[in-house]
Amino acid sequence: MVKQNLKRSHGIEKKGGGGRSRILKNGAIFEQAGVNFSEVYGKELPQSIISQRPEAKGHEWFATGTSMVLHPKNPFIPTVHLNYRYFEAGSVWWFGGGADLTPYYPYLSDVRHFHEKHKNACQKVDKNLYKVLKPWCDEYFFLKHRNESRGIGGIFYDYQDGSGSIYKGNNKNGRAYQVSNEISALNLDWENLFSLAEYCGDAFLPSYLPIIEKRANKNYSEEEREFQLYRRGRYVEFNLVWDRGTIFGLQTNGRTESILMSLPPLARWEYGYKAKKGSREEFLTTIFTKPQDWENDQNLEAFCIANNIFD
């Protein structure tokens, strides 16, 4: 890492508290990489959260968390994101977080590896957690206006206070809701949920570093770079239109530079783009932007092997 490419910033939030951001630009592996730490508080939570947790209305609130988004230069290395957070408002508290992977030229072995490490982390707390957090991630990181996923998912959870069912989302027709109902309540306490964030945070490097090491020296063409930039456009669209973390940060008058550090330094849009039939670009847009049973689908595995996108 070249020292002059690392930018540091400290922010004091208008509502109270503050945070730290570290941004790496034009590194050997990452075109841009950002890490945020925040500890903020205020008089009342925004309506976007009150609508989910109405019992928090009228209480002063406190929130702390960390987030990371890494945008590699090489199109064969996926973009990765994680976020783990904790909220309090009066006597109300909850944890949220998760991690997800966004490939541009995916390989099923990489996808399976990322999911396996996070599944193992979840199972340290309860064997059933991953069964809900995986489809919940598929549901959350979905661009409704494009009818496609941002990437290949990972894990996601929110509003976890140990009460009731695991799934706290609003889609009663989704897989996460159905599985959560089948499992029923897990009766997790504060320590269990803190451990979940800790175990999942510890799983990040083992889940991602081997993918970097495997793909970093792979040569790529200008066309492959252009496709990476095109798909980064989808990343921008999700973060600006759908991401609740972005919305929360802006609604609470947070530091805009830190809130938007998740955006890639370069992206592009192309009207009416269609990938060539049978190309890796087509496989990305037709298979790897749809929720899949990455671990167990033998037909998917056979297809990836036959088309040289397994490993």
* Catalytic residue IDs: 81
Question: Is the CB of residue 9 less than 8 Å from the CB of residue 21?
Answer: yes
Residues 271-286 pLDDT 10s? 999 999 999 999 999 9
Output phi, psi for 52, to 5 deg.
Answer: -90, -35
Could you list the beta-strand ranges (E) of the chain. 6-12, 17-25, 30-42, 61-72, 79-89, 92-102, 142-143, 148-149, 153-160
pLDDT confidence band for 9 (50 / 70 / 90): low
Question: 3-306 in CATH: which number?
Answer: 3.40.1500.10
Q: Among residues of the chain, what percentage have pLDDT more than 90?
A: 80
Residues 18-73 pLDDT 10s? 789 999 999 999 999 999 998 989 998 888 788 888 888 999 999 999 999 999 99
Would you give the DSSP letter of residue 157?
A: E
Residues 135-181 pLDDT 10s? 999 999 999 999 999 999 999 999 999 999 999 999 999 999 999 99
Predicted pLDDT at 51: 82
Question: Is the CB of residue 52 less than 8 Å from the CB of residue 160?
Answer: no
Q: Compute CA distances 143 → 27, 70, 159, 208, whole Å.
A: 30, 20, 22, 24
